Amino acid sequence: MVSALATAQKSALDQKIKAVIKGKKATVGISVLDFDNNFEYNKNGDKKLPLLSVFKFHLASAVLDMADKGKFSTDQKFLIKKSDLLENTWSPLREKYPEGNVELSLGEIITYTVAQSDNNTCDFLLRLIGGTQTVQNFMDSKGAKDLKIQYNEDDMHKDWKNQYGNYSTTNSAVDLLKKFYDGKLLSKKSTDFLMQIMLGTTTGTNKIVEQLPKGTPVAHKTGSSGKPDNVLTVAENDMGIITLPNGKHYAIAVFVNNSTETEKVNTRMVSDISKIVWDNFNK
C-alpha cells in the first residue's frame, strides 16, 4: 500500500515540476527512484526518448562486462591512431593528442568516453567489442526494457536523424541505475570502477548537479544534441545516482526532447527539476 504521506509527497512534487515545464515547447521525461524506501515518481516516464551520449553508460557497462569475463583488462593498452580521431566531433582526447598514436589503457579510454563524453573513444570502444548490437545484447540479457542502441557517434553525425535511433524511457534509465548500484549489472570491481568515473563526470555542470549543495556525490552521465538544424534540440539529458546527506541514494533521469527552447532554458529545466527532487528528499 502506498502511504498517504507518499501520495501527498508525490502530489507536491508533481505540482512543482509541472510549474517548471509549463508552457515550454519541449517533451520532458522525468523519473525518480528512491533506492531505500521504493518512493517512485515519473512524468512521461514511459515515453521513448533519444539518449544521445547517455548511451555511453550502457556502452561502458558492456565493455566492463567483457572485462569481468576475462576478454579484456582495464590495464590493457590500446593504440589510438590518428585515423581513430575524427574531426568535427566532441573529442577531448583529440584536443590533447591531435596526431593520435597514443597508447591508453582500456580504463583511460572508458574514462574519456564516460566522464568527458568523448565521441572518438566511444566509437573506438564500439569497434573493439563488435558494435552497438553487442551493447544491445548485453542490456537485453540484464532485462533492460524500452531501450534501443543501434547507432554509433559517427552515424549520428553523418545524419542527425539517427540521433532518434538510440532511445530509452526515463523509467528504464532509473531502473538500470538501480540494477547497476545493486551490483546486478557488473562485478563489484567493475561497478566501483564505473561509479568512480561517473562521480568524476565533467560534462553538463549546468544540469542535475548545478543547484545541488557543493560536494554532493553525483554519479551521472549526460547527453546533448545541440541544435543540428539550428531550430530543434533533439535532446538535453542527464541521469545519475545521487547521494543524500544521510547516506541514502536515489536515481534521477531528466530527458528534454524535441525542444525549440534555447539551450539555457533546456538545461535550466533539468537543473530546476533536479533541485526540486533534492529538496523533496531533504525535507
**Residues with catalytic annotation?**
53, 153
Yes or no: say if 39 and 174 are a contact pair by the CB < 8 Å rule: no
Q: Nine-digit cell at 103?
A: 597508447
- The b/e string for 171-193 (b: 16+ C-beta within 10 A; e otherwise) is bbbbbbbbbbbeeebbeeebbeb
> What percent of the residues of the chain are helix, what percent strand, and what percent coil, each to the nearest 5?
45, 20, 35
What letter does residue 211 receive in the DSSP assignment? T
Q: Nine-digit cell at 85?
A: 580521431
Cα–Cα distance for residue pair 272/24, rounded to 1 Å: 13
Cα–Cα distance for residue pair 132/216, rounded to 1 Å: 33
Cα–Cα distance for residue pair 94/82, rounded to 1 Å: 9
Write down the number of H helices and E strands in the chain: 10, 10
The candidate with the shortest Cα–Cα distance to 59, out of 108, 105, 113, 120, is 113
**Kind and range of the H or E run holding 80:** strand 77-80
Reading phi first (left if > 0) and then psi (alpha if -120 to 50, else beta), residue 44 is in left
Residue type at 59? L
